[in-house]
Amino acid sequence: MYSLFRQGTQKESGEDVLRSNILAVRTLSEMLRSSLGPRGLDKMLISSTNDVTVTNDGVTIVKEMDVQHPAAKLVVEAAKAQDTQVGDGTTSAVVLTGFLLEQAEKLLDQKVHPTIIIEGYKRASDIILNHSKEVAIKINTSDKDYLRKVTYTSLSSKFFSGESTLNKIIDISIDAVVSIAKKQDSSYNIDLSDIKFVKKRGESVDETELIRGFVLDKEVAHENMPRRIEKAKIAIIDFALEVEKPEISAKMSFTSPDQIREALEEQSKYVKSLVDALANAGANVIVSQKGMDDIASYFMAKKRIIGIKNVSRSDLEKLAKSVGAKIITTVKDVSPDDLGYAEVVEERKVGNSKAVFFEGAKQGDAVTILIRGSSDIVMDELERSFQDSLNTVKNVLQYPYVVAGGGAFEMEMSLKLREEARKIGGKEQLAVEAYADALEEFAITLAETAGLDSVDALVQLRNLHSKGLRNAGINVESGKVEEDMAKIGVLDPLIVKEQVIKSSTEAATAILKIDDYIAAAPAKPQQQQGGEGGGMMPGMMG
């Protein structure tokens, strides 16, 4: 009797596999559920090396967790895709996926086939995406008031307690994105990599500031170099200002001290020629990806040139873009056209360390957010918050539609699905209604995290939306159901809501399609062939 699989392979089939996968995803969803909304709670994640992360950012949580279950890993990938596409809404995507599979499990109990549920969910998703703009508000991207409201909603679940701190972070986020945005016809081209983060421990979060220029988290290479240069001409190089060691090891033999002196003089002449070539091109600031030895630093200090060494490649490229410089790979062809320009290059003390500021750059594309805080945990969470708020501003500028928050969009789409479900015949109608139930669960979760009576909130929301109040939602801060969340400034980017629907539907339907589970047996270590000294070579006869 032959076996299809290797010995030790595990195989499960049928509905048990499907229910096991649903349970795994629901467990992951339940874990993130309490982090949803402005009153959502944080998670403390401790790595195997005892590094502590405190956050309620969905993508950070799923990335830091070592998820083993293959079905849960599918949802983690969906959350990462959500973050890649729009940079926000990762918690919502995971939680809604859990709700969809919870409703799907109820349909499985009613003997509805998974294929019918999948088709119903896809149809429900199409209905939502086709009607989403009907409930959206198109905004004027030059109106910063709308940008502030949307950014405030995005940051409302973060840890900042002071209103002044929150307002400062909102202003920094809007100014940073507007500074790097390039308008093309009716749209914007925005590259968030032009925004650099520098974290310096010390002071409070309130001291965080936007630098309209580029900040290198480095010090000037030598103490005798100047600390400030105005009207700086900047050479950015990716070669070392030193005598590089040859790849092949070699020995030099000397028979007299004069030969040693001559060898050192030759080295000095070589390094001086490199510095002179850059100085003759007009450079008074030199930034290198590689090293600068003491000889180079001496000649640069003598010529009143600022030198900065061992800069990472990514920072080098961003700085070159900011100051309008070309990265110089060889000193032979250097020319004044290769240099960048900044009004001021200055080394400043920030906290207990120093950094070099490039302000008034030629291109003015790059900006730097200088993050301050009492600890690394606080600064890391502040950076994650900035990532969310920057993506929010970017999304609204590129896709200028917003919807009312507080569960208003989900409740209105739930009502729309129930209306459309009546026109659909057969069991597929049940799947569309199940999708509507999942959206309502989303609104209920917001009420629960705010400490409200979820049943009472749901009844009120259904009543208001049935009367045509499409912006009715839950005001978490006041603990009431409001008739118009847009009026009180609770707004979400439409593109984030649409991406949540797409990501959740794709993840849920992918899991519902699985009915077989085949886990390969671990590979066995290869055994040594032949015994000690007694083995026969192929072709030999005993």
- Do β-strands 327-328 and 228-237 pair in parallel, antiparallel, or remain unpaired? parallel
- Do β-strands 367-373 and 195-201 pair in parallel, antiparallel, or remain unpaired? parallel
Catalytic residue, from 83, 88, 217, 388: name it.
388
Catalytic residue, from 91, 151, 445, 505: name it.
91
For 398, half-sphere exposure in the C-beta direction (CA atoms, 13 angstrom radius) is: 17
**Dist CA 218 CA 310 (whole Å):** 9
The answer to whether residue 153 is catalytic is no
**Dist CA 54 CA 34 (whole Å):** 14
The answer to whether residue 185 is catalytic is no
Query: ∠ at Cα 481 (480, 483), nearest 5°?
Result: 130
The answer to whether residue 57 is catalytic is yes
**Dist CA 198 CA 214 (whole Å):** 10
Amino acid identity at 508: A
Cβ-based neighbours of 272, under 8 Å, separated by 6 or more:
295, 299
Cβ-based neighbours of 247, under 8 Å, separated by 6 or more:
none
Ranges of H-type helices in 324-466: 376-398, 408-421, 428-449, 454-466
**Dist CA 185 CA 427 (whole Å):** 47
Whole-angstrom CA distances from 345 to 77, 127, 230 are 43, 55, 6
Q: Secondary structure of 250-304 in the HEC alphabet?
A: CCCCCCCHHHHHHHHHHHHHHHHHHHHHHHHCCCCEEEECCCECHHHHHHHHHCC
What residues form DSSP beta bridges with 200?
Answer: 372
Catalytic residue, from 90, 151, 392, 505: name it.
90
Q: Secondary structure of 225-252 in the HEC alphabet?
A: CCCEEEEEEEEEECCCECCCCCCCCCCC
**Dist CA 326 CA 282 (whole Å):** 14
Cβ(139)–Cβ(399) below 8 Å: no
The answer to whether residue 90 is catalytic is yes
**How many other CB atoms sit within 10 Å of the CB of residue 108?**
17
If phi > 0 it is left, if psi is from -120 to 50 it is alpha, else beta; for residue 472 that is beta
Catalytic residue, from 53, 55, 57, 88: name it.
57
Write the DSSP string, 136-204.
-EE--TT-HHHHHHHHHHHHTTSS---HHHHHHHHHHHHHHHHHH-EEETTEEE--GGGEEEEEEEBS-
Cβ-based neighbours of 396, under 8 Å, separated by 6 or more:
139, 141, 146, 147, 150, 402, 493
Whole-angstrom CA distances from 135 to 129, 456, 461, 494 are 11, 24, 16, 10
Q: Return the active site residues.
A: 57, 90-91, 388
